[in-house]
Structure 1
Amino acid sequence: MAFTDLGDVRLFHTDDGSGDTTLLLVHGLGSDSHEWVHHIPSLARQYRVIAVDVRGHGYSSAPESGNTPTQMADDLALLCAALGVESCVAIGHSMGGQIVSHLAVEYPSLIKALVTVDPGYGFAGARARNLPAIIERMREDTLAVCLRNDEWTYSAATPEWLREWHRRRIIATPPHVLLQAFEAMFDGPDALGLRPNTEEYLSRRTCPVLTFWFDPVQAAWEASLFKDPHSKAVAWEGSGHRLHEERPGEFLAVVTNWLRRLS
Protein backbone atom coordinates (compact mmCIF):
# COMPACT_ATOMS: atom_id res chain seq x y z
CA MET A 1 0.00 0.00 0.00
CA ALA A 2 1.25 3.48 -0.83
CA PHE A 3 -0.65 5.07 2.09
CA THR A 4 -0.74 4.28 5.80
CA ASP A 5 -3.26 5.80 8.25
CA LEU A 6 -1.75 6.75 11.61
CA GLY A 7 -4.76 8.28 13.33
CA ASP A 8 -4.64 12.02 12.71
CA VAL A 9 -2.49 11.73 9.59
CA ARG A 10 -2.31 9.64 6.41
CA LEU A 11 1.22 9.19 5.11
CA PHE A 12 2.23 8.49 1.53
CA HIS A 13 5.30 6.31 1.12
CA THR A 14 7.00 3.99 -1.33
CA ASP A 15 8.67 0.71 -0.39
CA ASP A 16 11.23 -0.64 -2.86
CA GLY A 17 13.95 -3.25 -2.95
CA SER A 18 14.92 -5.78 -0.33
CA GLY A 19 17.82 -6.74 1.85
CA ASP A 20 18.98 -7.09 5.43
CA THR A 21 19.17 -3.31 5.87
CA THR A 22 16.27 -0.88 5.51
CA LEU A 23 16.88 2.73 4.54
CA LEU A 24 14.33 5.38 5.58
CA LEU A 25 14.57 8.49 3.38
CA VAL A 26 13.25 11.75 4.86
CA HIS A 27 13.01 14.98 2.84
CA GLY A 28 13.25 18.60 3.95
CA LEU A 29 10.78 21.41 4.61
CA GLY A 30 8.57 22.30 1.66
CA SER A 31 9.64 19.25 -0.30
CA ASP A 32 8.51 15.62 -0.59
CA SER A 33 9.85 12.15 -1.28
CA HIS A 34 10.39 12.94 -4.97
CA GLU A 35 13.60 14.49 -3.63
CA TRP A 36 15.05 10.97 -3.70
CA VAL A 37 14.18 9.94 -7.27
CA HIS A 38 17.86 10.05 -8.29
CA HIS A 39 18.81 7.76 -5.42
CA ILE A 40 16.07 5.16 -4.97
CA PRO A 41 16.77 2.97 -8.04
CA SER A 42 20.43 2.50 -7.13
CA LEU A 43 19.81 2.03 -3.40
CA ALA A 44 16.97 -0.43 -3.99
CA ARG A 45 19.39 -2.81 -5.71
CA GLN A 46 21.08 -3.35 -2.34
CA TYR A 47 18.61 -2.33 0.36
CA ARG A 48 14.97 -2.09 1.25
CA VAL A 49 14.20 1.61 0.68
CA ILE A 50 11.24 3.43 2.25
CA ALA A 51 10.73 7.01 1.08
CA VAL A 52 7.99 8.95 2.83
CA ASP A 53 6.15 12.25 2.48
CA VAL A 54 6.09 13.58 6.06
CA ARG A 55 2.85 15.04 7.41
CA GLY A 56 1.71 18.15 5.61
CA HIS A 57 3.91 17.49 2.57
CA GLY A 58 3.50 15.89 -0.82
CA TYR A 59 0.70 13.34 -1.02
CA SER A 60 0.37 12.96 2.77
CA SER A 61 -2.46 14.67 4.63
CA ALA A 62 -1.98 18.07 6.25
CA PRO A 63 -3.51 18.28 9.75
CA GLU A 64 -4.31 21.74 11.07
CA SER A 65 -1.80 21.31 13.90
CA GLY A 66 1.14 19.16 14.91
CA ASN A 67 3.24 19.82 11.81
CA THR A 68 6.55 19.79 13.69
CA PRO A 69 9.76 17.76 13.37
CA THR A 70 9.16 15.99 16.68
CA GLN A 71 5.67 14.89 15.66
CA MET A 72 6.96 13.90 12.23
CA ALA A 73 9.54 11.70 13.94
CA ASP A 74 6.83 10.07 16.04
CA ASP A 75 4.83 9.48 12.84
CA LEU A 76 7.79 7.74 11.23
CA ALA A 77 8.32 5.50 14.25
CA LEU A 78 4.67 4.43 13.96
CA LEU A 79 5.05 3.94 10.21
CA CYS A 80 8.08 1.72 10.69
CA ALA A 81 6.14 -0.39 13.18
CA ALA A 82 3.24 -0.68 10.73
CA LEU A 83 5.63 -1.77 7.97
CA GLY A 84 7.40 -4.32 10.15
CA VAL A 85 10.68 -2.37 10.29
CA GLU A 86 12.51 -3.14 13.54
CA SER A 87 15.70 -1.25 12.68
CA CYS A 88 16.85 1.00 9.87
CA VAL A 89 19.36 3.54 8.64
CA ALA A 90 17.59 6.91 8.51
CA ILE A 91 18.71 9.46 5.91
CA GLY A 92 17.42 13.01 6.32
CA HIS A 93 17.94 16.26 4.43
CA SER A 94 17.60 19.71 6.08
CA MET A 95 14.48 19.48 8.30
CA GLY A 96 14.76 15.76 7.68
CA GLY A 97 18.10 15.91 9.53
CA GLN A 98 16.21 17.13 12.59
CA ILE A 99 13.55 14.45 12.15
CA VAL A 100 15.99 11.54 11.91
CA SER A 101 18.01 12.91 14.84
CA HIS A 102 14.85 12.92 16.94
CA LEU A 103 14.34 9.30 15.91
CA ALA A 104 17.91 8.42 16.93
CA VAL A 105 17.51 9.99 20.37
CA GLU A 106 13.92 9.03 21.18
CA TYR A 107 13.83 5.63 19.42
CA PRO A 108 17.43 4.37 19.67
CA SER A 109 16.51 0.72 19.10
CA LEU A 110 14.97 1.65 15.75
CA ILE A 111 17.89 3.64 14.34
CA LYS A 112 21.15 1.79 13.80
CA ALA A 113 22.83 4.59 11.83
CA LEU A 114 22.09 8.10 10.53
CA VAL A 115 22.94 10.04 7.41
CA THR A 116 22.20 13.78 7.61
CA VAL A 117 22.43 16.03 4.56
CA ASP A 118 23.08 19.73 5.24
CA PRO A 119 20.86 19.30 8.29
CA GLY A 120 18.65 22.04 9.69
CA TYR A 121 20.35 22.30 13.07
CA GLY A 122 23.26 24.02 14.75
CA PHE A 123 22.54 27.55 13.51
CA ALA A 124 24.63 30.20 15.24
CA GLY A 125 25.87 33.74 14.75
CA ALA A 126 24.12 36.05 12.28
CA ARG A 127 22.03 33.25 10.81
CA ALA A 128 20.55 32.46 14.21
CA ARG A 129 20.00 36.12 15.06
CA ASN A 130 18.03 36.64 11.84
CA LEU A 131 15.61 33.79 12.48
CA PRO A 132 13.09 35.63 14.76
CA ALA A 133 12.62 38.33 12.10
CA ILE A 134 12.13 35.69 9.40
CA ILE A 135 9.47 33.96 11.50
CA GLU A 136 7.65 37.27 12.06
CA ARG A 137 7.61 37.94 8.32
CA MET A 138 6.39 34.39 7.68
CA ARG A 139 3.38 35.04 9.92
CA GLU A 140 2.41 37.88 7.58
CA ASP A 141 3.10 36.19 4.21
CA THR A 142 4.33 32.63 4.67
CA LEU A 143 4.68 31.60 1.06
CA ALA A 144 6.48 34.71 -0.16
CA VAL A 145 9.00 34.55 2.69
CA CYS A 146 9.62 30.83 2.18
CA LEU A 147 10.30 31.36 -1.52
CA ARG A 148 12.65 34.24 -0.76
CA ASN A 149 14.37 32.28 2.00
CA ASP A 150 14.90 29.37 -0.40
CA GLU A 151 17.19 31.49 -2.57
CA TRP A 152 20.14 31.05 -0.16
CA THR A 153 20.07 27.29 -0.68
CA TYR A 154 21.58 27.45 -4.16
CA SER A 155 25.06 27.97 -5.51
CA ALA A 156 26.33 28.91 -8.94
CA ALA A 157 26.53 25.19 -9.70
CA THR A 158 22.86 24.50 -8.96
CA PRO A 159 21.00 23.59 -12.18
CA GLU A 160 18.02 25.73 -13.13
CA TRP A 161 15.64 22.78 -13.20
CA LEU A 162 16.38 22.00 -9.55
CA ARG A 163 15.56 25.56 -8.51
CA GLU A 164 12.25 25.39 -10.35
CA TRP A 165 11.44 21.91 -9.04
CA HIS A 166 11.75 23.06 -5.44
CA ARG A 167 9.94 26.33 -6.06
CA ARG A 168 6.95 24.31 -7.20
CA ARG A 169 7.20 21.98 -4.19
CA ILE A 170 7.15 24.94 -1.79
CA ILE A 171 4.13 26.43 -3.54
CA ALA A 172 2.36 23.06 -3.22
CA THR A 173 2.90 22.88 0.57
CA PRO A 174 0.11 24.36 2.75
CA PRO A 175 1.31 27.64 4.30
CA HIS A 176 0.25 26.64 7.82
CA VAL A 177 2.49 23.59 7.54
CA LEU A 178 5.48 25.66 6.41
CA LEU A 179 4.99 28.09 9.28
CA GLN A 180 4.43 25.51 12.01
CA ALA A 181 7.42 23.44 10.96
CA PHE A 182 9.77 26.41 10.61
CA GLU A 183 8.73 27.84 13.98
CA ALA A 184 9.26 24.48 15.67
CA MET A 185 12.71 24.15 14.11
CA PHE A 186 14.02 27.59 15.05
CA ASP A 187 11.90 29.27 17.73
CA GLY A 188 11.68 28.50 21.42
CA PRO A 189 13.92 27.22 24.20
CA ASP A 190 14.00 23.68 22.83
CA ALA A 191 14.31 24.44 19.11
CA LEU A 192 16.82 21.97 17.73
CA GLY A 193 17.90 24.35 14.98
CA LEU A 194 19.70 26.63 17.45
CA ARG A 195 22.87 26.19 19.44
CA PRO A 196 23.35 25.31 22.25
CA ASN A 197 20.10 23.31 22.06
CA THR A 198 21.58 21.33 19.20
CA GLU A 199 24.75 20.40 21.04
CA GLU A 200 22.96 19.13 24.13
CA TYR A 201 20.48 17.10 22.12
CA LEU A 202 22.79 15.69 19.46
CA SER A 203 25.22 14.54 22.13
CA ARG A 204 22.55 11.94 22.93
CA ARG A 205 22.88 10.32 19.50
CA THR A 206 24.98 7.22 20.15
CA CYS A 207 24.69 5.55 16.73
CA PRO A 208 27.13 6.04 13.83
CA VAL A 209 26.47 9.28 11.93
CA LEU A 210 27.51 10.30 8.43
CA THR A 211 26.88 14.00 7.86
CA PHE A 212 27.24 16.11 4.72
CA TRP A 213 27.66 19.91 4.76
CA PHE A 214 28.55 22.51 2.15
CA ASP A 215 30.12 24.58 4.96
CA PRO A 216 33.34 23.01 6.32
CA VAL A 217 33.00 24.99 9.57
CA GLN A 218 29.62 23.38 10.22
CA ALA A 219 31.02 19.96 9.30
CA ALA A 220 33.86 20.33 11.81
CA TRP A 221 31.44 21.53 14.48
CA GLU A 222 29.17 18.50 14.09
CA ALA A 223 32.15 16.13 14.03
CA SER A 224 32.99 17.35 17.54
CA LEU A 225 29.64 15.94 18.75
CA PHE A 226 30.04 12.40 17.44
CA LYS A 227 29.92 9.53 19.93
CA ASP A 228 30.50 6.52 17.67
CA PRO A 229 34.00 6.06 16.16
CA HIS A 230 32.54 5.11 12.78
CA SER A 231 30.96 8.55 12.40
CA LYS A 232 32.20 10.85 9.66
CA ALA A 233 31.67 14.45 8.53
CA VAL A 234 31.96 15.33 4.84
CA ALA A 235 32.29 18.91 3.53
CA TRP A 236 31.53 19.70 -0.12
CA GLU A 237 32.47 23.35 -0.54
CA GLY A 238 30.82 25.04 -3.51
CA SER A 239 27.71 22.87 -3.32
CA GLY A 240 24.27 24.17 -2.48
CA HIS A 241 21.99 23.14 0.36
CA ARG A 242 20.56 20.27 -1.73
CA LEU A 243 23.92 18.76 -2.45
CA HIS A 244 22.55 15.22 -2.65
CA GLU A 245 20.41 16.30 -5.60
CA GLU A 246 23.16 18.33 -7.24
CA ARG A 247 25.69 15.48 -6.98
CA PRO A 248 23.59 12.28 -6.70
CA GLY A 249 26.19 9.87 -8.05
CA GLU A 250 28.93 11.04 -5.72
CA PHE A 251 26.50 11.17 -2.80
CA LEU A 252 25.44 7.57 -3.42
CA ALA A 253 29.04 6.41 -3.64
CA VAL A 254 29.98 7.99 -0.31
CA VAL A 255 26.85 6.71 1.48
CA THR A 256 27.00 3.14 0.18
CA ASN A 257 30.75 2.85 0.87
CA TRP A 258 30.20 4.06 4.43
CA LEU A 259 27.32 1.65 4.97
CA ARG A 260 29.42 -1.18 3.58
CA ARG A 261 32.18 -0.45 6.08
CA LEU A 262 29.65 -0.39 8.92
CA SER A 263 28.42 -3.87 8.04
Structure 2
Amino acid sequence: MTEAATFTASDGETIAYYIDDFTDPWREAPVMFLLHSAMGNSERFYSWVPGLARHFRLIRMDLRGHGRSSVPDLSAPLTMDRLVDDVVELMALLRMEKAHVTANSAGGYVAQNLAMREPEKVLSMAVVGSTPGLSPEALKWLPRIKKEGLRHFLADTIHMRFDLASTGPGMVEWFLDQTEQNDRDFVVRFIGYAATQNWSDQLHRIRCPSLVILPGAETVGAAALYDTMRDRIPNVRMIAYEHMPHNIADMLPDRCVADIMAFHRDTFGYPGADRR
Protein backbone atom coordinates (compact mmCIF):
# COMPACT_ATOMS: atom_id res chain seq x y z
CA MET A 1 0.00 0.00 0.00
CA THR A 2 3.07 2.20 -0.38
CA GLU A 3 3.99 3.13 -3.94
CA ALA A 4 7.41 4.53 -4.90
CA ALA A 5 7.74 6.49 -8.13
CA THR A 6 9.58 9.31 -9.85
CA PHE A 7 8.71 12.00 -12.36
CA THR A 8 10.68 14.39 -14.51
CA ALA A 9 10.29 18.03 -13.51
CA SER A 10 9.91 20.69 -16.18
CA ASP A 11 13.63 21.52 -15.96
CA GLY A 12 14.65 17.88 -16.46
CA GLU A 13 15.46 16.93 -12.86
CA THR A 14 14.15 13.65 -11.45
CA ILE A 15 11.89 14.02 -8.42
CA ALA A 16 11.14 10.95 -6.29
CA TYR A 17 7.96 10.49 -4.29
CA TYR A 18 6.02 7.91 -2.30
CA ILE A 19 2.28 7.41 -1.89
CA ASP A 20 1.12 5.84 1.39
CA ASP A 21 -2.59 5.01 1.48
CA PHE A 22 -4.09 2.92 4.28
CA THR A 23 -7.45 4.69 4.25
CA ASP A 24 -10.81 2.91 3.91
CA PRO A 25 -11.19 1.92 0.24
CA TRP A 26 -14.83 3.04 0.12
CA ARG A 27 -14.09 6.59 1.30
CA GLU A 28 -12.65 9.53 -0.63
CA ALA A 29 -9.63 10.26 1.55
CA PRO A 30 -8.16 13.73 1.96
CA VAL A 31 -4.69 14.16 0.50
CA MET A 32 -1.70 15.33 2.52
CA PHE A 33 1.74 16.20 1.15
CA LEU A 34 4.70 15.62 3.48
CA LEU A 35 7.84 17.69 2.85
CA HIS A 36 11.01 16.81 4.76
CA SER A 37 13.87 18.84 6.19
CA ALA A 38 17.14 19.87 4.57
CA MET A 39 19.74 17.10 4.70
CA GLY A 40 16.85 14.64 5.07
CA ASN A 41 14.58 12.64 2.79
CA SER A 42 11.12 11.09 2.84
CA GLU A 43 12.33 8.23 5.06
CA ARG A 44 12.59 10.69 7.94
CA PHE A 45 8.80 10.48 8.17
CA TYR A 46 8.89 6.72 8.87
CA SER A 47 7.45 7.27 12.35
CA TRP A 48 4.74 9.66 11.12
CA VAL A 49 3.32 7.48 8.36
CA PRO A 50 1.47 4.90 10.53
CA GLY A 51 -0.59 7.54 12.33
CA LEU A 52 -1.36 9.68 9.28
CA ALA A 53 -1.75 7.21 6.41
CA ARG A 54 -4.77 5.58 8.03
CA HIS A 55 -6.69 8.83 7.55
CA PHE A 56 -4.92 10.68 4.71
CA ARG A 57 -3.59 9.68 1.33
CA LEU A 58 0.01 10.69 1.96
CA ILE A 59 2.36 11.98 -0.72
CA ARG A 60 5.96 12.07 0.53
CA MET A 61 8.23 13.91 -1.89
CA ASP A 62 12.03 13.96 -1.84
CA LEU A 63 13.08 17.57 -2.33
CA ARG A 64 15.41 18.02 -5.30
CA GLY A 65 18.96 17.18 -4.33
CA HIS A 66 17.77 14.88 -1.54
CA GLY A 67 16.91 11.19 -1.20
CA ARG A 68 16.20 9.51 -4.53
CA SER A 69 15.70 12.83 -6.34
CA SER A 70 18.48 13.96 -8.64
CA VAL A 71 21.13 16.45 -7.57
CA PRO A 72 21.01 19.53 -9.82
CA ASP A 73 24.18 20.68 -11.51
CA LEU A 74 25.87 23.61 -9.81
CA SER A 75 25.06 25.73 -12.85
CA ALA A 76 21.29 25.14 -12.44
CA PRO A 77 19.42 27.92 -10.61
CA LEU A 78 18.28 27.09 -7.07
CA THR A 79 15.28 29.22 -6.13
CA MET A 80 12.28 28.95 -3.87
CA ASP A 81 10.00 29.21 -6.89
CA ARG A 82 11.70 26.15 -8.38
CA LEU A 83 11.23 24.18 -5.14
CA VAL A 84 7.56 25.17 -5.10
CA ASP A 85 7.23 24.28 -8.79
CA ASP A 86 8.28 20.70 -7.98
CA VAL A 87 5.30 20.32 -5.64
CA VAL A 88 2.90 22.02 -8.05
CA GLU A 89 4.05 19.82 -10.94
CA LEU A 90 3.64 16.66 -8.86
CA MET A 91 0.14 17.75 -7.89
CA ALA A 92 -0.69 18.25 -11.56
CA LEU A 93 0.77 14.85 -12.45
CA LEU A 94 -1.39 13.18 -9.79
CA ARG A 95 -4.41 15.27 -10.85
CA MET A 96 -4.77 16.87 -7.44
CA GLU A 97 -6.23 20.35 -7.48
CA LYS A 98 -5.61 20.94 -3.78
CA ALA A 99 -4.16 19.21 -0.74
CA HIS A 100 -3.20 19.61 2.88
CA VAL A 101 0.52 20.33 3.24
CA THR A 102 2.54 19.24 6.27
CA ALA A 103 6.26 19.83 6.52
CA ASN A 104 9.31 19.75 8.75
CA SER A 105 12.03 22.40 8.98
CA ALA A 106 13.21 23.40 5.46
CA GLY A 107 10.31 21.50 3.96
CA GLY A 108 8.22 24.09 5.75
CA TYR A 109 9.94 26.82 3.78
CA VAL A 110 8.53 25.24 0.65
CA ALA A 111 5.12 24.75 2.28
CA GLN A 112 4.90 28.39 3.36
CA ASN A 113 5.84 29.68 -0.07
CA LEU A 114 3.43 27.27 -1.75
CA ALA A 115 0.63 28.57 0.50
CA MET A 116 1.52 32.16 -0.37
CA ARG A 117 2.02 31.67 -4.11
CA GLU A 118 -0.71 29.10 -4.82
CA PRO A 119 -3.31 29.65 -2.09
CA GLU A 120 -6.04 27.85 -4.01
CA LYS A 121 -3.99 24.63 -3.92
CA VAL A 122 -3.40 24.51 -0.14
CA LEU A 123 -6.29 23.43 2.09
CA SER A 124 -4.22 23.69 5.24
CA MET A 125 -0.61 24.08 6.29
CA ALA A 126 1.11 22.43 9.25
CA VAL A 127 4.81 23.10 9.81
CA VAL A 128 7.12 21.73 12.49
CA GLY A 129 10.29 23.59 13.46
CA SER A 130 10.03 25.87 10.45
CA THR A 131 10.48 29.65 10.42
CA PRO A 132 10.12 32.06 7.46
CA GLY A 133 13.66 31.46 6.31
CA LEU A 134 16.76 29.94 7.88
CA SER A 135 18.73 32.07 10.33
CA PRO A 136 21.75 33.78 8.70
CA GLU A 137 23.74 32.25 11.56
CA ALA A 138 23.62 29.03 9.54
CA LEU A 139 26.09 30.56 7.08
CA LYS A 140 28.73 29.94 9.74
CA TRP A 141 28.18 26.19 9.34
CA LEU A 142 29.30 26.12 5.73
CA PRO A 143 33.09 26.36 6.12
CA ARG A 144 32.99 23.54 8.69
CA ILE A 145 30.81 21.33 6.50
CA LYS A 146 33.15 21.87 3.56
CA LYS A 147 36.21 21.09 5.66
CA GLU A 148 34.94 18.37 8.00
CA GLY A 149 32.06 16.78 6.10
CA LEU A 150 28.43 16.52 7.11
CA ARG A 151 28.71 13.68 9.58
CA HIS A 152 31.56 15.16 11.62
CA PHE A 153 29.97 18.61 11.71
CA LEU A 154 26.57 17.29 12.76
CA ALA A 155 28.02 14.88 15.32
CA ASP A 156 29.97 17.72 16.89
CA THR A 157 26.88 19.97 17.06
CA ILE A 158 24.29 17.26 17.74
CA HIS A 159 23.16 18.99 20.97
CA MET A 160 21.75 21.77 18.78
CA ARG A 161 19.30 19.29 17.27
CA PHE A 162 18.54 16.60 19.84
CA ASP A 163 17.82 16.54 23.55
CA LEU A 164 20.44 13.93 24.36
CA ALA A 165 18.96 13.23 27.79
CA SER A 166 15.80 11.85 26.22
CA THR A 167 17.03 10.67 22.80
CA GLY A 168 18.55 7.22 22.43
CA PRO A 169 21.94 6.81 20.75
CA GLY A 170 20.35 4.64 18.07
CA MET A 171 18.30 7.56 16.74
CA VAL A 172 21.30 9.85 16.75
CA GLU A 173 23.39 7.33 14.79
CA TRP A 174 20.55 6.76 12.32
CA PHE A 175 20.19 10.51 11.84
CA LEU A 176 23.93 10.83 11.16
CA ASP A 177 23.84 7.88 8.75
CA GLN A 178 20.94 9.46 6.88
CA THR A 179 22.45 12.93 6.60
CA GLU A 180 25.84 11.54 5.54
CA GLN A 181 24.22 10.15 2.38
CA ASN A 182 23.56 13.65 1.05
CA ASP A 183 25.68 15.38 -1.55
CA ARG A 184 27.83 17.74 0.52
CA ASP A 185 28.19 20.42 -2.13
CA PHE A 186 24.44 20.56 -2.71
CA VAL A 187 23.74 20.74 1.04
CA VAL A 188 26.15 23.66 1.33
CA ARG A 189 24.40 25.34 -1.58
CA PHE A 190 20.91 24.64 -0.20
CA ILE A 191 21.73 25.91 3.30
CA GLY A 192 23.55 28.92 1.91
CA TYR A 193 20.49 29.83 -0.17
CA ALA A 194 17.97 29.23 2.64
CA ALA A 195 20.01 31.39 5.04
CA THR A 196 19.64 34.38 2.70
CA GLN A 197 15.85 34.13 2.41
CA ASN A 198 13.27 35.77 4.68
CA TRP A 199 9.60 36.23 3.81
CA SER A 200 8.35 37.49 7.19
CA ASP A 201 6.73 40.48 5.52
CA GLN A 202 4.68 38.16 3.28
CA LEU A 203 3.23 35.82 5.92
CA HIS A 204 -0.13 37.61 5.83
CA ARG A 205 -0.64 35.98 2.42
CA ILE A 206 -1.02 32.55 4.04
CA ARG A 207 -4.80 32.38 4.22
CA CYS A 208 -5.42 28.70 4.89
CA PRO A 209 -5.88 27.29 8.40
CA SER A 210 -2.35 26.82 9.70
CA LEU A 211 -0.57 24.99 12.50
CA VAL A 212 2.93 25.87 13.68
CA ILE A 213 4.60 23.42 16.07
CA LEU A 214 7.76 24.95 17.43
CA PRO A 215 10.66 23.81 19.59
CA GLY A 216 10.65 25.89 22.78
CA ALA A 217 14.45 25.94 22.86
CA GLU A 218 15.02 26.47 19.13
CA THR A 219 18.70 26.20 18.29
CA VAL A 220 18.73 26.18 14.49
CA GLY A 221 16.16 28.74 13.30
CA ALA A 222 15.72 32.30 14.55
CA ALA A 223 13.40 31.70 17.52
CA ALA A 224 11.95 35.22 17.45
CA LEU A 225 10.47 34.50 14.02
CA TYR A 226 7.92 32.19 15.62
CA ASP A 227 6.43 35.27 17.27
CA THR A 228 6.31 36.85 13.83
CA MET A 229 4.42 33.84 12.48
CA ARG A 230 1.94 34.05 15.34
CA ASP A 231 1.36 37.74 14.69
CA ARG A 232 1.20 37.73 10.89
CA ILE A 233 -0.39 34.47 9.74
CA PRO A 234 -4.11 35.27 9.94
CA ASN A 235 -5.52 31.85 10.91
CA VAL A 236 -2.79 30.10 12.89
CA ARG A 237 -2.55 27.77 15.88
CA MET A 238 0.79 27.79 17.69
CA ILE A 239 2.00 24.87 19.83
CA ALA A 240 5.34 25.01 21.65
CA TYR A 241 7.25 21.94 22.81
CA GLU A 242 8.96 23.51 25.76
CA HIS A 243 12.68 23.03 26.40
CA MET A 244 13.15 21.06 23.16
CA PRO A 245 15.82 21.83 20.52
CA HIS A 246 15.23 21.83 16.79
CA ASN A 247 14.60 18.20 15.81
CA ILE A 248 11.22 17.71 17.49
CA ALA A 249 9.84 15.95 14.41
CA ASP A 250 12.38 13.16 14.98
CA MET A 251 12.38 13.14 18.79
CA LEU A 252 8.63 13.43 19.37
CA PRO A 253 6.92 11.97 16.28
CA ASP A 254 3.84 10.60 18.07
CA ARG A 255 3.22 13.94 19.75
CA CYS A 256 3.60 15.77 16.44
CA VAL A 257 1.16 13.41 14.72
CA ALA A 258 -1.34 13.70 17.59
CA ASP A 259 -1.25 17.49 17.43
CA ILE A 260 -1.60 17.48 13.63
CA MET A 261 -4.55 15.09 13.85
CA ALA A 262 -6.21 17.24 16.53
CA PHE A 263 -5.74 20.32 14.34
CA HIS A 264 -7.49 18.59 11.45
CA ARG A 265 -10.33 17.29 13.61
CA ASP A 266 -10.92 20.72 15.12
CA THR A 267 -10.64 22.55 11.81
CA PHE A 268 -12.21 20.18 9.29
CA GLY A 269 -14.08 17.60 11.38
CA TYR A 270 -11.79 14.81 10.22
CA PRO A 271 -9.95 12.48 10.20
CA GLY A 272 -12.09 9.82 11.76
CA ALA A 273 -14.89 12.16 12.78
CA ASP A 274 -17.64 10.13 11.10
CA ARG A 275 -16.32 6.63 11.86
CA ARG A 276 -18.82 4.06 13.11
TM over 0.5: yes
- Please give the secondary structure, in 2, of the residue aligned with 1:211: strand
From the superposition, tell whether residues 175 and 120 of structure 1 become closer, same or farther in structure 2 (CA, over 3 Å). Answer: farther
Please give the TM-score of this superposition, normalised by the length of structure 2.
Answer: 0.81
Counterpart of 2:120 in 1: which secondary structure? coil
Shift in Å, 1:142: 5.5
| 3-state SS of 2:15 partner | strand
Task: Provide the residue aligned with 2:8 in structure 1.
Answer: 5
Residues 85-138 of structure 1 deviation map (CA, whole Å, 9 limit, x = unaligned): 111111111101101011111111111111110014366xxx64x344334544
Q: 1:224 aligns with which of 202, 226, 231?
A: 231
Mapped partners of 2:148, 2:124: distance in 1: 38
Determine the structure 1 residue equivalent to 2:271.
none
Asked if structure 2 preserves the Cα contact closer than 8 Å seen for 1:220 and 1:233, the reply is: no
Q: Secondary structure in 1 aligned to 2:33?
A: strand
Q: CA deviation at 1:61?
A: 1.0
1:246 is aligned to 251
Instruction: Give per-residue Cα distances to partners, 1:55-106, cap 9 Å, x unaligned.
Output: 1111111111445544222111111111111111111111011010111111
CA-based RMSD of the aligned residues comes to 2.3
The 5-angstrom pairing of residues 141-160 of structure 1 reads 143=150, 144-145=152-153, 148-155=156-163, 156-160=165-169
**Partner Cα separation in structure 1 for residue 94 and residue 208 of structure 2:** 22
Shift of 1:3: 1.2
Please tell me whether residue 201 in structure 1 is matched to residue 202 in structure 2.
yes
Aligned partners of 2:216 and 2:241 also within 8 Å: yes
SS of alignment partner, residue 173 of structure 2: helix
Aligned ranges for residues 94-173 of structure 1 at < 5 Å? 94-121=105-132, 128=136, 130-138=137-145, 143=150, 144-145=152-153, 148-155=156-163, 156-173=165-182
Q: Tell me if structure 2 keeps the 8 A contact 1:69–1:181.
A: no
Q: 2:68 aligns with which of 40, 52, 59?
A: 59
Is 1:47 the counterpart of 2:94? The answer is: no
> What CA distance in whole angstroms lies between the structure 2 residues aligned with 1:100 and 1:53?
13
Alpha-carbon deviations, 1:197-219, whole Å to 9, x = none? x3212222111110011127644
